[in-house]
């Protein structure tokens, strides 16, 4: 029986590829006509029903309106793909613009710092205070950027853009580097200073 099933699976693969001869198709129809559905594995039950229907009628009837539904679905997929390409292009342009902005900002600060007198912190408490102020400033900027991104997302959704095309399910945030073996986030505040 296993040898027969293997042979039938090969014929089905050829059939679905459109490469069977008329004799092979008749062999498939005869096999499924005499084999009960309960004797077949689950992956062949749908094929059996299809072959039995084809053997009974000889013609497969297409439901009315299926061509219009398929055409509309294909058009929708094409529009989604076009929007996806445009969105990826916009994301690439935005990434390049952000990189240039970061480089320009860094250059301005380097030129500004090189023209001013050297500022050196020797007191550990003062260094910790300055570091905390810098981290708070960075945190505020990131929070503002998050709010602007959320506003932009809401605006794009109101305009009818499909925001799911920008989501990448294969990329997930991994915070395993931030947690210890026990799952607790370590505190590094006591390591700041000299």
**Which of 11-20, 99-108, 112-121, 134-143 is predicted most confidently?**
11-20
User: CA-CA distance, 72 to 60, in Å (whole number)?
Assistant: 22
In percent, how much of the chain has pLDDT > 70?
74
pTM, full prediction: 0.31
pLDDT tens digits, 110-155: 766 555 555 677 888 888 888 888 888 888 888 888 888 888 878 8
Please report the pLDDT score of residue 190 as a whole number: 46
pLDDT tens digits, 76-92: 888 877 776 777 777 87
Using left for φ > 0, alpha for ψ between -120 and 50, and beta otherwise, residue 174 falls in: beta
Please report the pLDDT score of residue 180 as a whole number: 55
Give the mean pLDDT of the chain: 76
Domain boundaries, the chain: 2-57, 67-119
Please report the pLDDT score of residue 3 as a whole number: 63
DSSP-derived letter for residue 45 is H
User: CA-CA distance, 36 to 191, in Å (whole number)?
Assistant: 73
Length of the chain: 194
Give me 137's structure tokens. Answer: 């400033």
Contact indicator for 83, 162 with CB cutoff of 8 Å: yes
Closest CA to 84 of 154, 159, 168, 152: 168
pLDDT tens digits, 147-171: 888 888 788 778 777 666 656 554 4
């Amino acid at each position: 029986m296993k040898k027969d099933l293997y042979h039938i699976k090969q014929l089905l693969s050829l059939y679905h590829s459109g490469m069977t001869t008329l004799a092979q198709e008749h062999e498939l129809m005869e096999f499924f006509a005499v084999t009960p559905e309960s004797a077949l594995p689950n992956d062949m039950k749908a094929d059996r029903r299809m072959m039995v229907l084809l053997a009974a009628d000889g013609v497969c009837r297409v439901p009315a309106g299926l061509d219009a539904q398929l055409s509309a679905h294909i058009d929708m997929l094409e529009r989604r793909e076009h929007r996806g390409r445009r969105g990826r292009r916009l994301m690439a342009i935005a990434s390049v613009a952000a990189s240039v902005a970061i480089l320009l900002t860094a250059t301005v600060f380097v030129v500004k710092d090189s023209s001013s007198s050297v500022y050196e912190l020797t007191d550990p408490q003062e260094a910790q205070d300055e570091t905390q102020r810098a981290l708070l400033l960075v945190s505020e900027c990131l929070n503002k950027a998050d709010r602007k991104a959320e506003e932009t997302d809401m605006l794009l959704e109101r305009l009818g853009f499909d925001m799911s095309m920008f989501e990448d399910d294969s990329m997930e945030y991994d915070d395993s580097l931030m947690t210890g073996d026990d799952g607790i986030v370590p505190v590094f505040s006591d390591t700041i200073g000299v």
